[in-house]
Amino acid sequence: MAKMIDVAKLAGVSVATVSRVLMGKGKVREQTRQKVLEAIKQLNYKPNRLARNLRRLESQTVVVVIPDISNPFFTEIVLGIQEIANQHGYHVLLGNTNNDVKREIQFIEMVKEKVADGVILVTVRNPKERFLKLAQEFPIVFACEYIKGAELPMVTIDNVRSAQCVVNYLVNLGHRKIGYIGGPQQVIVSRDRLQGFIQGVIQNDIPFEPAYITEGDFGIQSGIEMATKLLQLPSPPTAIFAANDEMAIGAIKAIKNHGLSVPKDIAIVGFDNITMSTVVEPALTTISQPRRQIGQKAMELLLQLIHNPMLKREHIVLPYELVIRQSCGNPSVWSDS
C-alpha cells in the first residue's frame, strides 16, 4: 500500500507538503498542489488513519451504546446520529450491550483506549454515581434515557408529561378504569412514565387502583401476560396504556384471545410509535418520540463536547406527539391542554 513518502517522491516534494495538501491548510503553490494531487491519484493513495489519529490524538469515531440492536426503536436513533456524524467525518461504532450492565462501562472505556472520542448512551442501567464520574472524565451524551437531577448533556422527551397526556386523552374519551403496563423499574423512562400515569389518574379525580398497575419487560410476551392479568381482575379496565408499543401489541393479542375486541371493549395506547404499530390491527394509538431528531441532537451535542470539554451541560427536551390511530376508537384530532 502506498505511503505518504511514496507520494512525496513521485511528486518531487517533501512529506510535509503532501500533508499540507491533504489537510488543506498551510500555504501550497497551486502548481505544487496539482503535482501532489496527480501523484495521489496515480498511486491510488489514501492516508493511514491510524497514523493520522495517533499524531492528532483523536480517533474521529464515536460509540453509540444501545441495549438491543435488533429493536427498531433504537436503530432510528442511530440513523439520526449517523447522519450528523458522517456530515462531520466521524465514524459510528455500535455498542450492543444486550442489556448487560457491565458492557455499558466497557464501551465507555473505549474512549480511554482512544478507539473513540466520545460516547452516546441510549441505555443507562449502571448506578448514577458511576456515570457522574465517567461523564466528568469523557465526553458522554445521554439520549432517551438519562440521569435524574444531574447537569449532564441529555436529549429526551418529557416522559412524565407524555404519559400524563395519554391518561388525559383516555379520560377525555370517557374512560375511568385505566390499566397500566409499565416497563422495568430500573430504567428511568419506566419510572417517569409510571409517575406520569399516576399523576394523570390523580389529576382527573379517578380513584387510585393499585391492581391496575402492572410491570412488564418491554417485550411482546410480557404485554400478553400483563394484559391477561388485568383482564382477570373482578372489575377489569376499559382501557390499557402500555409503556411501549411491543407490550401494547401483546395486550391487543391477549384481548383478542379473550374473545374481546379492541377498541370496542377495551382501548389500547402504546408508546414509541414503531413501524409495527401501523401494521397491527387495529393500528395503535401511541406516543411518538422524534427519534431521528433525538439522535441528531445528541450527536451535535457530543461534537460540541468533544471540541470543547468545558461546554455547559444542558438537558434538551424535545416535543412528543400523540399519534391517534384506531386502537381507541373515535379517531379524532385532540390536543392536551
Residues that bind a second copy (CB under 8 A): 1, 46-51, 53-54, 59, 61, 69-70, 72, 75-76, 78-79, 82, 91-94, 96, 109-110, 112-115, 220, 249, 275-276, 279-281
Q: Tell me the angle at which helices 188-203 and 159-172 cross, rounded to the nearest 10 degrees.
A: 40
Question: 124 contacts which partner out of a second copy, DNA, none, CB within 5 to 8 A by kind?
Answer: none
Cell of 259: 374473545
Name the nearest CA neighbour of 72 among 196, 245, 213, 202.
245
CA 145, CA 124: separation in Å to the nearest integer?
A: 6
Part in contact with DNA (CB under 7 A); list of ranges 19-27, 95-103, 206-214, 322-330: 19-27
C-alpha gyration radius of the chain = 26
Q: How far apart are the first and last CA of the chain?
A: 65
CA 276, CA 259: separation in Å to the nearest integer?
A: 22
Residue 20 in the binding site for DNA (CB under 7 A): yes
Burial of 149 (0-12, 13-18, 19+ CB in 10 A): exposed
For DNA, give the closer residue by CB, 23 or 311. Answer: 23
CB of 202 to a second copy, least distance (A): 34
CA 44, CA 30: separation in Å to the nearest integer?
A: 21
Identify residues 23-62 at the interface with DNA (CB under 7 A).
23, 25-29, 31-33, 47-48, 51-52, 54-57
CB of 28 to DNA, least distance (A): 4
Question: 132 contacts which partner out of DNA, a second copy, none, CB within 5 to 8 A by kind?
Answer: none
Which residues of the shown chain bind DNA in the complex (CB under 7 A)?
1, 3-5, 12-20, 22-23, 25-29, 31-33, 47-48, 51-52, 54-57
